[in-house]
Amino acid sequence: MVSVLLFILLLFASWIIVRIGAIAFQITGLEWSLAKFQALSCFSGTGFTTRESELIVSDKRRRQIASILMILGNAGLVSLIATAAGAINPEQTVIPWLSATFLPFHIPNELAVIINLAIIVLALLITYRIFTNRKIAGKLTRYLRKKIMKQELLKPVSFEELLMLTGGYGISRIEVCEGNQIIDKTLAESDLRKNDITVLAIIRGEETIPNPSANRKILKGDGLIAFGKLERLRGQVF
């Protein structure tokens, strides 16, 4: 039974480590769902894709976080396997002793192993349900994030880094060419927002119009400094 309790504690510690890693990745600029996936991937050593691994190796802080998660993950996996092996060993459990002391019959070792396995599976299910509960996970995540920020263990990502590294979004300049349907339309009428494009500034000759209002007209030859999906913005000409 001690081994089972130790197994549960190791599961809890693993979840805490992965969640701290996810918070650390988020502070460096990764979107939260991606940060959680990357932390779990580093800890378990699985789940990487080429594009996502580039997000990790391209940043020094993320490489350090990933390295720590990988080291702890390898150690944790070995510990979990060893603990699980001990938990199903009938000689290291209290089941034979309980059967001999309190029950009128003896529980054979084979049945004790099955009971121990059932306890481990039940512990896994309970642990999973607890840590997938949004309220519990949310409260614990906020607490951990507060502690990390208070200790200044990581410096928050700069605005420029955030623009370039959050889920493929960034800033680019796009040109408005003659004959385009958005010429002489306001930003609100252009439907750029429907295409997930936000105009941050308009370059008109020598003039720069920052944070243009929704009723600002778009003229031929304007350069639009826009924020949106980089794959849509790159090389885009209106």
H or E stretch at 198: strand 197-204
pLDDT for position 10: 81
Q: Average per-residue pLDDT in the chain? A: 76
Query: Can you spell out the DSSP letters for 45-80?
Result: T----HHHHHHHHTSHHHHHHHHHHHHHHHHHHHHH
Look at residue 92 and tell me whether its pLDDT is greater than 60: no
pLDDT of residue 100: 53
What is the distance between the terminal CA atoms of the chain, rounded to a whole angstrom?
A: 69
pLDDT at 216: 93
Confidence of residue 201 (pLDDT cuts 50, 70, 90): very high
Fold of 168-233: Alpha-Beta Plaits (3.30.70)
- On whether the CB atoms of residues 26 and 157 are closer than 8 A, the answer is no
**pLDDT grade, residue 234 (50/70/90)?**
low
Q: Is the pTM of this model over 0.85?
A: no
Distance, in Å, from the CA atom of 70 to the CA atom of 55, rounded to the nearest integer, reads 16
181-196 pLDDT, tens digit each = 888 999 999 888 887 8
CB atoms within 10 A of CB 20: 21
Domain boundaries, given as residue ranges, for the chain: 2-158, 168-233
Nearest-Å Rg of the Cα atoms of the chain is 27
